[in-house]
Amino acid sequence: MLSIDTSTVYALWKREITRLKRSPSRILGGLAMPVLFMVFLGTGFSSMNINGMPAEMSYIQYLVPGIVGMTMLFSGSMAGMSLLWDKEHGFLKEVMVAPSSRLSIVLGRIAGGGTMSVVQGLLVLLASFFLGFSISSIGGFIVGVVFLILIAVTFIGMGMIFASTMHDSQGFGMVMNLVIFPLFFLSGAIYPVSNLPKFLQYITYLNPLTYGINGMRASFIGVAKQSILLNLGTLLTFTAILLGLGTHFFNKMEVS
């Protein structure tokens, strides 16, 4: 039976939070691109009629959940870089020889990376209010935050898969960029997926970010192609699969 050492989970979580506090530039760097996307896309396309988008909805209302989802995608996936960095510099080896289960180590890294990602996502959401974005209800906000957390955890799992099987941080960054950008552009983050060719629309159904962004739109502004429950159930399935695979590859990882 797998045991969970809560002190290990807490220590790894606290380590990530301490690193975040000591490097505020990481937060500012993580905010810069999403805010610029919202400013330039939100203002540049505000007066355009976009097929597939409700006529009464402003573009900033449509865009913001997509940009928050993008923030979760980038920050969650790149959490694998921290794992790879620790592996390259020997810290992970020291953690591995400690009398704690690998499951505890995985949970600690997920907790730390997830907290940082969620903080960035909430800050982006806060910034969007100054650009005219509004949320339909407090209950919708709470449900939307649940989707935000699930997106972060899902892509932390994906980042762990790649980080556990790679040995070069530069190669990791290149591979993740090749994965992240197609996921972003095929999620409906900045335009309705109905505007894509049919064969690409089918691919969007295999993208967990699609359901996360749809779920946030349904929660935050009450408009989405699918119901909240459908998006939530599908995203939970992707979360379980990617976390399971991430944990599997982490357990198989050899640390020299």
The confidence score (pLDDT) of residue 2 equals 54
Q: Judge if pTM exceeds 0.95.
A: no
Q: Please report, in tens digits, the pLDDT of each residue of the chain (256 residues total).
A: 456 778 888 888 888 888 777 777 777 777 888 889 898 888 877 766 777 777 678 889 999 999 999 999 988 887 777 777 777 777 777 777 666 777 788 888 888 888 888 989 999 999 999 988 999 899 999 999 999 999 999 999 998 888 888 877 777 878 888 899 999 999 989 988 888 999 999 999 999 999 999 999 999 998 877 889 999 999 999 999 998 898 888 888 766 5
The confidence score (pLDDT) of residue 1 equals 44
* 8-state DSSP, 255: -
The confidence score (pLDDT) of residue 47 equals 67
Closest CA to 149 of 35, 251, 243: 243
* Tokens describing residue 41: 């896309």
Written in H, E and C, the secondary structure of 116-127 is: HHHHHHHHHHHH
The confidence score (pLDDT) of residue 182 equals 92
Task: Calculate the dihedral angle through the C-alpha atoms of 239, 22, 125, 195, rounding to the nearest 10 degrees.
Answer: -60
Residue 254 backbone class (left: φ over 0; alpha: ψ -120 to 50; beta: rest) = beta
The confidence score (pLDDT) of residue 14 equals 87
Classify residue 129 as exposed, middle or buried by CB count within 10 Å of its CB (0-12, 13-18, 19+).
exposed
